[in-house]
Structure 1
C-alpha cells in the first residue's frame, strides 16, 4: 500500500540537519554549560534568564549541523514545546498549521492568532495573518516561543509569539554544505557561510527544497535565501541588516479528503483538485535593519525598520457555474502588495527597575484581483477579471513595559499596549449590478498585563500572570459578507480575551529542568464560520469561548551522553455560548445549533512529545521520538473528528573530524510502524474535506560537511 523507497532528483546523500531539535545542550557539552540558564528576549524585549520571567517561554536551540532531519519546516523545532500544536500539512501551497493553547486553530491556511517574528522583524501582517515559509532553519540559532498573557504586549492577534533568531557570524569562518534525500521525492540542498572580520559579522544562506509529495497532486519546490550582516562599532553601538527571500512556484494543492476518501486511499486527492489544477505561487522579498545605541546612564535606544513585497497567485476549485453570479469574485486569486513598518523603543535599566517605552507602525498595501478559473471549456487557467480592489491595513501601537525587583526574592513585571488597526478597501471593479463596495473600519484596544514572580530558591521559581488581549478579523475573514451581498464584512467585531496563568520553573540538579503551567483564557465575541456558499466562507461573532488547561516540559540528562525531552499539553477549548451555524454547501442561512460546551474545532485535548538522544557531535549518535495527539474535532458542530494518532521515528548518525572541519551523516525513519494517521485538519471545510493525511513510513538520508578555518 505504501511507497517508501527513495525517488526524485535527490536520491542519496544529504546536507542540512534539523529534526526534533531538543532544548537541552548537546550531550557532549561540559557539565558547567548544562547548568547555564536559558537567556530569552521575547517576553521582556531585553536579555533576561528565562527563570526570571513570570511567563511560559521556551528557547529551543537550532543547529542544522547537529541534528538529524530535513531542516525545512519550523514544525520540526516546535514539536518539543508544550502548548504548541505545529503540523506539517504536507501541502506547501497552504504553509504549516500552528496554534498556541488553541489560538489560531481555525486558520485554513497560513498562521493567524499567533504573532510571528524573524530577528525582531514581523512575519505577521497588521491584520494578524502570517506565514512561516521564509523561516530559514539552516541559518538559525534558536526559536523562542512565548505563551500566555504577556503575548498581548505584541499587539493584535497575539495568542502567542514565535520568534526565530538567525545566528551571528562566528569568530572563525565556516562553510557548510549538505544534502538531504528522502522518500516521496523529498530533497534539500543548502549552502551556508558565516564568520566575522573585525567588527563585521555575517551569516549567508541559500537552500533548495523539492518534493513529489506523499499524496497525488502535491509536488512543490521552494527556494529560500537568508542573510544577516552585523556591525559592532563599539561604545554600545550596533547595526544589524537582515534580508530574506522565498520563491514557491506552482505548488500543487491536493485539498483535503472526506473521511470516506481518507479511509479508502489516503494518498488520493479530490477529483476537482486535478480538474482545476489547484495550485499556488508565492514570491516574497524582504529587508530590515536594527540599530541599537547605548546612550549612557543606563539608557538604550533601539530603532527597527523593514519593508518587503509579496506576490501570490492561487487557483481554486470553484465550479464555473458558481461564478455566473455577477457578485462572485472568481476562482483565481491574484495578490501583490508591499508592506513596511518601524519600531522604536527606549530602555532604562538601573537595578532594581527596568523600563521600556516604545511605539510601532506597520502597513500592508495590497492589490487584490480575482479572475475566473476557466476560459471556454479549459479549466484551471486564468479567465476574465471579476474582482479588482486595493486593500490597506495598518496599525499604530504604543507600549510600555517595566520590571521591578520588589525584594530579594520577588519581582513584578507589568506592561500595557494600545493598538489601533485600520482596514480600508477601495473598489475598482464597479461593473453592471456589481456596486462600489469601498469602505473602511477601525478597531482599537488597550491591553494591560502583569506578572509576579517569587524565587523560592536558586532552583525554584513560581509565578502568576494576568492580561487582556484582542484579535481583529483578518482581511480574508472580512472578505465576504454573510448576507450574500458584495463588499467586506465590516460588521465583524474583534475577539477580546482575558487570560491568567500560574506556573513553576524548577531546576532539579545539574541535569534536569521542569517547567509547568496551568492557564485559562476567556474570549468574548469569538469569531467563527457564518456561511459557506459559492466557494466562499464568511464569518461572524458567536459569543463566548474558553481555553483552559495545563502544560509541562521536562528536560532530563540521564547520563553523560543520554538525554530525554518531554512536552505534554492538556487543553479544553470550548464554546461557552450556543449559536447557529451552517452545514453543507451551499448554506447561506445558519440553522444547525451548536450547543454551549461544544469543543472548538482544530484543538486536541492532549498532545505529548517524547524525544530521546544518545551521543554527541562525534562518533555514533542515536535518537528516537514519539508524538501522540488525541482526537481533533474538525467542525463547529463536533459531529466529526480526526482520530487519535501515535507516530514514532528513529535515527542513527555518525560524525568525525576532518583536517579543516567535520562531517556528519545520518539515517532517519519517520512513521516507524507505518501507521495511517491524519497529519492536519482543515477546520469547517464547506465540502466536508476536513482531513490531510500524514505520510506513511519514510526514509531520510543526510550528510553535512562543515569547513572551519
Structure 2
C-alpha cells in the first residue's frame, strides 16, 4: 500500500508506546507490509485521522477516529495543566475540577457532567495505564513540560481498551531521552504567585533511552482559599536486551497539597465569582459560600464556616510503577507482557466530611501481534488478555468547626475490591491496495464487592447500618471499520464501535440526597457508535479533517450535585440517550510562499446529547411527581467548543526564531439541570503569546528559550466548571424555575481573570 500521508504515519508512530494497556487495552499494528520509517524529529502540531499504515508493534485502534497535538502546540508557553495540551484537539473539551490541576477532560462530552477526574475514558502514558480498575483517572499528575505529544482515540473503544472506554482513550507520550540529549532547566512564573521550576534529563542510543523529569509548582490561586503546591516526578527507561527483546520501565509520582474553595450557586457566582471577602463566615461579603459543620462532630447543631475557617483542601499522593517486556518471536510476530502497580492515597476534607483512604491497584496484560499475509494481501492479527485488581478501604469523618480540617466522629467507612478480567482480538485486512477492513471483539467480566458502614449519632449513643454491594457484570464489545484512500490526498473512514462502563464502587454508596447510603442498583452503561470521517490535504499549505458521529447509549450513568453540604455527586442510569455531533480540524498556511512562517489552526466540536427515554422522580416533604425528560438535553454537556490560533514564526533573517500567536477560545452556554431550566453562561477568551528561540548562529544563546503570555486579555469573568444540579419540586407540585435553581449551591467555579506569565528554559 502506498504511504498515503506521512503525517498520519508520524502520529501513529508517536503513539507506539500505547502498545499494552494494563487493563488489556491494545490494538493493531502495521497495516501495510512496508517497513517502518525512523521516528522523525518533532514537527509542528498535526491533527490526524487514523486508519492507514503504521509502524510495527503499535497498538492503536485501526479505523478509529484519532486526533493529536504535538509538543509545538504547548511547549513554548505557560502550559500548566492538561487543558493546555488538549485545547487544540477536536472533540475534546474540559472544565475545572476540584483542585489546581484537576482538569476534567472530556472526549465528546464524556466527563463534562463530572466534578472531578477523567471519566468514561481510558488514559495511557507511554502505554501504561493511568486509569485505575474502577475507571478513575486524574490529571493532577500531568505536567505538560514532560511530554512530546498526546493522541486522542475517539468514540466507543471497549473492543481494545476494555471497561470504561465508553467514549475513547487518551495516550500521553513523554519525550524521548535521545531527543533531549542532555539537561534542560526551566522556570515559569507569573500572576497569582505562580512559579513552576522544572528539570528534564535525557540520553539515549540504540541500546537504551532514558528520560527523567521533575517539577515543583506553587501558586496562591486566583480564588480565595485556592493556593497549592504540587511536585511531580516522571521517568521512563527503554532498554534493548537483545535484538529481539526490550524492557520498558515507567515511574510516575505526584504529591498535591492544595487548599480548596467551595463551588458556588449561579447567584453567588454572579455576585462574587472569586469569593473575595469570604474568609470569616460571620462577616462574609455577599456571594460567599459556607459549609455547615456539626458543632460536636457527631450530631445536632451546626455552625456555618468559610472554606478557610474549616480548612478545606486536598492532600493527595499518586505513585505508579510499570514494567513491560517486548519480545519479537520472529520478524512478523511480537509478544508483549506488562505489569503495573498504582497507588492513589487521598486525604480530602472537601465539604462537611473528610474522605481518607488508599486505592491500591495491580494490572497485568499479555498480547501478541502478527503481521502476516493472506495470498498477496496483508493481514494483521492481534489477541490479548488482561486482569486488573483494585482494593480499597476508606474512612469518612465529620468535620468539626475547630478549624484546620479537624476530624470529628466517623460518618462512614467502606472496604472492598473491584477486578476486571478481559480478552480481545482484532483482524486488520488490507484486502485491496486502497482498502482496509477491520473487525474485532472484546469482552470483560467485572466483579465489584464492598461493604459500607454508616454511623449515626444521637444523645442516646451510636448506631450502625451496613450496606453491602456484591455485583457482577459481563460485557461484550464488537467493532467493524472500513478505510478507503481513493487518492493520495484523500482518506475516508467509517466505523461501528461499541463500549461499556460498569458503575464504580464510589457510585454505589451515594444517595440522591447527597449522603452516604444505598445506591447499589446501578447498571452498566453500554453504547453503539457510528463514525464517518474524511481527511483531505491537497497541498502542504492546507489540511482539513472532519468527522461526524452518532452514538446510542443504554443505561447511561449521569451524575449531579445535591449541594455544597452534600458528601458527593449522585449517579443514576438514564435508560436511553443519544449523542451526535461533528468534529472539524484544519491547518492552513495562507501565504506559504510569501510568508511561510504564518499558519492558522482551527478546531471545532458540535456535541448534542439528549435523553430519549428517562423519567425522573422529584420529591418534597409532602409529595412526589414523575417528569418525562425525553427530548431534553443532558446537562453539563457543552454543545459548541471552538479554538482558533493565528501563529507566526520568523524562519530566517535578523528576527529568526521570533514568533507569537493570537488564540481565541469560545464555548456556548450549556444546561445545568435535567429539566433544562438553568444554563451556565458561555464565554469567549483571547490569549496572546510571544516567544523567542535564538538561531544556531548565535552560539550558546541558541540553548535558550523564552516567552511571555497574556491570558484572558479582555479580563472576562467566566464559568470554568459547573457541576450538574438537581431540579426542585415546589410545594405546589410544580418544578422550580431558573430563579430558584440559580440559588442551588455546589456547582460553579469561576475561571481565571487576566493573567500574565513568562518563562525561560535552557539546554545543556
The TM tier, using the shorter chain, reads: 0.7 to 0.9
CA contact (8 A) 1:531 1:589 kept: no
CA contact (8 A) 1:634 1:642 kept: yes
2:498 counterpart (445, 450, 468)? 468
Q: CA deviation at 1:446?
A: 0.4
Match of 1:38 in 2: 11
Q: CA deviation at 1:36?
A: 6.8
Match of 2:230 in 1: 222
2:508 counterpart (466, 469, 478)? 478
Instruction: From the superposition, tell whether residues 531 and 69 of structure 1 become closer, same or farther in structure 2 (CA, over 3 Å).
Output: closer
> In 2, Cα distance between the equivalents of 1:423 and 1:517?
36
> In 2, Cα distance between the equivalents of 1:641 and 1:192?
44
Instruction: From the superposition, tell whether residues 509 and 151 of structure 1 become closer, same or farther in structure 2 (CA, over 3 Å).
Output: farther
Match of 1:14 in 2: none
1:367 counterpart (369, 386, 393)? 393
Gaps of 5+ in 2: 19-25, 32-48, 53-61, 276-287, 292-306, 457-461, 728-743
Instruction: From the superposition, tell whether residues 76 and 236 of structure 1 become closer, same or farther in structure 2 (CA, over 3 Å).
Output: same
> In 2, Cα distance between the equivalents of 1:574 and 1:410?
35
Match of 1:570 in 2: 606
Instruction: From the superposition, tell whether residues 349 and 650 of structure 1 become closer, same or farther in structure 2 (CA, over 3 Å).
Output: same
* Residue 160 (str. 1) matches residue 168 (str. 2): yes
* Residue 420 (str. 1) matches residue 450 (str. 2): no
Q: CA deviation at 1:101?
A: 1.1
CA contact (8 A) 1:70 1:188 kept: no
1:403 counterpart (398, 421, 428)? 428
Match of 1:697 in 2: 754
* Residue 552 (str. 1) matches residue 571 (str. 2): no
Instruction: From the superposition, tell whether residues 371 and 613 of structure 1 become closer, same or farther in structure 2 (CA, over 3 Å).
Output: same
SS at 2:270's partner residue?
helix
2:127 counterpart (120, 123, 146)? 120
Correspondences of 1:488-637 after superposition (within 5 Å): 488-529=518-559, 532=562, 535-536=566-567, 537-558=569-590, 559=592, 560-582=596-618, 591=625, 593-615=627-649, 619-637=657-675
CA contact (8 A) 1:582 1:588 kept: no
Instruction: From the superposition, tell whether residues 453 and 587 of structure 1 become closer, same or farther in structure 2 (CA, over 3 Å).
Output: farther
Match of 1:110 in 2: 117
Give per-residue Cα distances to partners, 1:604-648, cap 9 Å, x unaligned: 221111112111685211111111101111122221111121111
> In 1, Cα distance between the equivalents of 2:623 and 2:250?
48
SS at 2:540's partner residue?
coil
Match of 1:668 in 2: 709
What TM-score results when the alignment is normalised by the length of structure 1?
A: 0.87
CA contact (8 A) 2:454 2:517 kept: no
Instruction: From the superposition, tell whether residues 152 and 112 of structure 1 become closer, same or farther in structure 2 (CA, over 3 Å).
Output: farther
> In 1, Cα distance between the equivalents of 2:758 and 2:8?
33
SS at 1:659's partner residue?
helix
Q: CA deviation at 1:544?
A: 0.8
SS at 1:261's partner residue?
helix
RMSD: 2.7
> In 2, Cα distance between the equivalents of 1:124 and 1:33?
31
Structure number with greater CO (CA < 8 Å, separation at least 6) is 1
Match of 1:293 in 2: 327
SS at 1:436's partner residue?
strand
CA contact (8 A) 1:630 1:643 kept: yes
Q: CA deviation at 1:176?
A: 0.6
Correspondences of 1:15-414 after superposition (within 5 Å): 37-39=10-12, 40-41=15-16, 44-46=27-29, 50-52=50-52, 53-62=62-71, 67-89=75-97, 91-92=98-99, 95-150=102-157, 152-158=159-165, 159-170=167-178, 173-196=181-204, 199-249=207-257, 251-268=258-275, 269-272=288-291, 273-296=307-330, 298-318=332-352, 331-351=353-373, 352-374=378-400, 380-414=405-439
Q: CA deviation at 1:68?
A: 2.9
Q: CA deviation at 1:673?
A: 1.3
> In 1, Cα distance between the equivalents of 2:403 and 2:363?
42
What TM-score results when the alignment is normalised by the length of structure 2?
A: 0.81
Q: CA deviation at 1:393?
A: 0.9
Match of 1:645 in 2: 683
Instruction: From the superposition, tell whether residues 70 and 594 of structure 1 become closer, same or farther in structure 2 (CA, over 3 Å).
Output: farther
